[in-house]
Amino acid sequence: MKQFIKRGLKTILVFIISTIVIYVGFTAKDFYKTCKENQLYLFGNKYNEDIAKLDKDKIKELGDSVELYKEILEQSANESKYKDDGQEHYIGDGHEHSLGEFYDPLGFSIWSFIQVELTQITTKYINISIISGVAIAIAYLVITCRRISTILKFIIGYFGIMIIVPPIYMYTWTYRFWDIGSTYSNMPKYFYIGYTAIFVIMYIVNYKIGVKMTEELNQNIKNN
């Protein structure tokens, strides 16, 4: 029982660590990419030099996208039938309101742009991180189990995961199952590559640990 609990805790720890590492790694990559696309120099120490490097066309494109939403908010606010009725209104009072009635259109447009960008970055890799964490934890559990043969370890821990994970991942995005071709072709390629590398590394490490333990055990038997 004690050994069972110990193995369970180790498996949970592997899941937590792998999930966090995968999520932070991919999220940091997208965060850096977004900053680069929007010309945000997070570690820039020379402000004037950073300003001189800005792409004018990209700045204009960013301004146009914000300006368009700003104009929509202003127009909807001006066309509100509650604008000059002399009553006090608030969001959620049961009437149809425009956000431009309560917030500065330009400021809210900029806030919306930032909010959308941050939401996409922070939520994009949640599903794949959790699923990958579960897959790695299962692989760890299977590989370290001495009662399972090498062939079964690869069948269950590797091929089994490769077959089961893609449909689950696709379902988390669309809430429906796809045909086999679409399911496995739309699965992120880095999952196949990354999981294969991690599985092989864990198997080799576990194998070497097992060989070392066997050698030490044989040596102790000889000494005794």
Q: What confidence score (pLDDT) does residue 101 get? A: 62
Q: What confidence score (pLDDT) does residue 45 get? A: 60
DSSP output for 39-62: T--TT---HHHHHHT--HHHHHHH
Q: What confidence score (pLDDT) does residue 131 get? A: 92
Q: What confidence score (pLDDT) does residue 135 get? A: 93
Q: For residues 68 and 120, which has the higher predicted lDDT (pLDDT)?
A: 120
Q: What confidence score (pLDDT) does residue 54 get? A: 78
Q: Answer whether 54's CB lies under 8 Å from 39's CB.
A: yes
Of 37-46, 83-92, 151-160, 194-203, which range is least confident?
83-92
pLDDT bin (cut points 50, 70, 90) of residue 102 is low
pLDDT exceeds 60 at position 51: yes
Q: What is the pLDDT of residues 194-216, one digit of tens each?
A: 999 999 999 898 888 877 776 66
How many of the other CB atoms lie within 10 Å of CB of 17? 13
